């Protein structure tokens, strides 16, 4: 009885067919590319802990504020809501790594604070934080 080699007719095939594997990988890649943007729907906010020491201030810190009357400020400069978007776009274009801190009066409706945060994120500012005051505990 003679053994049949892999290269002879009727012998075993010695190659691995990777076509089905590549097809499955391409389908998975398309699925992940379509669903990945849908998974990022929330607003990323980092809140400081109450026990944490204050952050060191740097000269490049920018603070967006809303006072009790609903007036908007960039640092200490009052700015109408209509000009806020273009001002934030100019700031983000001048410094793409600019951090922004949002400080709002406690009586301001949350919708105005959310509008300010959304405007900063839409302008391309990568990091938006909230300024809070630690709670004081009575002894």
User: What tokens does 132 get?
Assistant: 């809070």
The residue whose two tokens read 């990988």 is 25
Model-level pTM?
0.53
Rounded CA separation 61/123 (Å) = 17
Give the chain's length: 139
Helices marked H in the chain: 19-39, 81-94, 110-122
Hey, what domains does the chain have and what are their CATH numbers?
A: 71-130 (3.30.420)
- Tens digit of pLDDT per residue, the chain (139 long)? 555 555 666 666 667 888 999 999 999 999 999 888 777 554 344 444 445 555 555 556 788 888 888 888 888 888 888 888 888 888 888 888 888 888 888 788 888 888 888 888 888 888 888 777 666 654 5
């Amino acid at each position: 009885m003679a053994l049949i080699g892999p290269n002879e007719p009727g012998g075993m095939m010695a190659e691995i067919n990777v076509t089905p594997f590549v097809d499955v990988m391409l389908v998975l890649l398309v699925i992940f590319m379509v669903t990945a943007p849908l998974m990022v729907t929330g607003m990323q906010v980092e809140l400081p802990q109450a026990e944490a020491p204050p952050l060191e201030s740097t000269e490049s810190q920018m603070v967006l504020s809303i006072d009790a009357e609903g007036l908007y400020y960039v640092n200490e400069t009052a700015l109408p809501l209509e000009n806020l978007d273009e001002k934030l776009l100019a700031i983000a274009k001048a410094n793409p790594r600019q951090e922004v801190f949002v400080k709002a009066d406690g009586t301001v409706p949350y919708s105005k604070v959310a509008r300010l945060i959304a405007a900063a994120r839409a302008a391309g500012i990568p990091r938006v934080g909230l300024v809070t005051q630690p709670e004081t505990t009575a002894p």
